[in-house]
Amino acid sequence: MKDLFEKCQQYNKVNIIKENNMYPYFHYLNSGQDIVVNMEGHRVIMIGSNNYLGLTSHPEVIEASIKATEKYGSGCSGSRFLNGTLDLHLELEAELAEFLHKEEAVIFSTGFQSNLAIISAIAGRNDYIICDKENHASIYDGCRLSFARMLRYEHSDMIDLERQLQLVPEDKGCLIVTDGVFSMGGDLCKLPEIVKLAKKYGARIMIDDAHGLGVFGEHGRGTAEYFGLENDVDIIMGTFSKSLASLGGFMVAKKEVCNYIRHTSRPFIFAASIPPSCVASALTSLRILKREPERVKNLLDITEYMRNNLKARNLPIRESQAPIIPINTYDDIRTFYACKVLFDNGVYVNPCISPAVPVGEAIIRTSYTATHTKELMDEAADIIKKVFDELPSVEYFKKFAEENNL
């Protein structure tokens, strides 16, 4: 019998990257998540976080987390389905549903689990799911878990979406699933066109708005509010780990859809509920968002300031609409190297390589926070410019890869 662990023993790419001082992952924080952090003992400007509204360090959020732990303890010791539901869970669900203009909400233990739980329950063997090719990995895994037939359309290509819709038999159910804001490129889905096609063919729509909540719309309700189409989206999914400064995820939809998910979704039924501290943090963050919608404007304003900063320095950025600005690096190992050098010079960013992006389209993903200052953005932009001016070519790193069998 072949040794199952043979693949592990032969996996040496990481060791080669580490030996050449280009490994960009698993840096550890010595401080809380903020616009400037202490990471591995030195000061780093954080432009690689999803802390969009800057609430992870808000004193009200921290206080709510502490008080919830003091009242309820450190965990729930069970699933929502059985002994793990607190009055806090119900309070958060009610306020999410009201805020997002839907009948009911269901909260889950993580954002990734939310997509697994929703998609695998709502679509079955006799249904179809049509998926944007650049959707988040959790959507793809939810599709696989559902046993529905998955069709994919080219990214934001509405002609291809209609082509896929035409392949669905009239006697089959169909769900169109798309990111509201695509997490790598920072672009928005073409929701108006998606809604028109869904109505034409009788499909339902689900939006993963993990990067839209607290980011778009006059009140921060996300992609559907931004386009004025809240009543036309059947299911909105989101996370607490970004704008709401906590951990977990949620969905909002009609009452009967939420009821069905609660009673049929294996990832929901068999998972422990999120702990009291996380519920209280998310609930307090939601209330701050409702009270201070100007944070949304501040977020987009500082992002636009940084975008113009990077353009003025002739850096190879991609156009985007969200507080996510991708910088082209093209080659995977070149991306690792650039991220490591930026970190060493005091700027934290995220490497995004295949399969998160297509081969040859690697990027550095930078992301921004409502509480970032112009002074910090100027400092970060100067460092990025310096690093890119000295960055070896794509050909240099391709040769390195060939020599090391990477």
Task: Give yes or no for a contact between 186 and 218, defined as CB atoms under 8 angstroms apart.
Answer: no
3 state DSSP class of 29: strand
Radius of gyration of the chain from Cα atoms?
A: 22
Task: Give yes or no for a contact between 68 and 280, defined as CB atoms under 8 angstroms apart.
Answer: yes
Task: Give yes or no for a contact between 36 and 44, defined as CB atoms under 8 angstroms apart.
Answer: yes
Predicted confidence at residue 404, as pLDDT, reads 87
Instruction: List residues bridging with 317 in a β-sheet.
Output: 327
Domain boundaries along the sequence of the chain: 6-52+293-403, 59-291
**Average pLDDT rounded to a whole number, residues 89-107:** 98
The whole-chain average pLDDT of the chain stands at: 96
Is 90 exceeded by the pLDDT of residue 358?
A: no
DSSP alpha helices (H): ranges in 345-391? Answer: 374-389
Q: How far is CA 55 from the centre of its chain?
A: 17
Measured distance CA(310)–CA(324) in Å, rounded: 13
Identify the CA nearest to 340 among candidates 352, 325, 350.
350
Residues with catalytic roles: 183, 211, 242
Predicted confidence at residue 160, as pLDDT, reads 98
**Average pLDDT rounded to a whole number, residues 56-65:** 97
For tokens 């020599």, name the residue: 403
Select the CATH number that applies to the domain covering 59-291 from these four: 3.30.1360.120, 3.40.50.300, 3.40.50.2000, 3.40.640.10.
3.40.640.10
Measured distance CA(22)–CA(17) in Å, rounded: 5
For tokens 């990471």, name the residue: 39
Question: For residue 250, what pLDDT band results from cuts at 50, 70 and 90?
Answer: very high
Residue 169: cis peptide before it, omega within 30 degrees of 0: no
Predicted confidence at residue 405, as pLDDT, reads 84
Q: Please state the pTM of the whole predicted model.
A: 0.95
Task: Give yes or no for a contact between 118 and 251, defined as CB atoms under 8 angstroms apart.
Answer: yes
Predicted confidence at residue 134, as pLDDT, reads 94
82's tokens: 């059985």
- Bin 249: left if φ > 0, else alpha if -120 < ψ < 50, else beta: beta
Predicted confidence at residue 58, as pLDDT, reads 96
For tokens 């009673």, name the residue: 263
Is 90 exceeded by the pLDDT of residue 355?
A: no
For tokens 């965990």, name the residue: 75
Measured distance CA(245)–CA(134) in Å, rounded: 25
3 state DSSP class of 252: strand
Predicted confidence at residue 356, as pLDDT, reads 83
Order the strands of the 347-348 sheet from edge to edge. Answer: 36-39, 42-46, 347-348
3 state DSSP class of 155: coil
pLDDT tens digits, 319-352: 999 999 999 999 999 999 999 999 999 999 999 9
Measured distance CA(297)–CA(295) in Å, rounded: 5
Please name the residues in contact with 90: beta carbons below 8 A apart, sequence gap of 6 or more. Answer: none
Kindly list the distances between the CA atom of residue 3 and the CA atoms of 6, 7, 10, 201, in Å, as whole numbers in the listed order: 5, 9, 12, 50
pLDDT tens digits, 261-319: 999 999 999 999 999 999 999 999 999 999 999 999 999 999 999 999 999 999 999 99
- Phi/psi of residue 164, each to 5°? -70, -40
Please tell me the CATH code under which domain 6-52+293-403 is placed: 3.90.1150.10
Q: Establish how many alpha carbons lie within 13 A of residue 401's alpha carbon, considering only the half-sphere containing its beta carbon.
A: 14
Give 77-127 as a DSSP string: -SBTTTT---HHHHHHHHHHHHHTT-SEEEEES-HHHHHHHHHHHHS-TTE
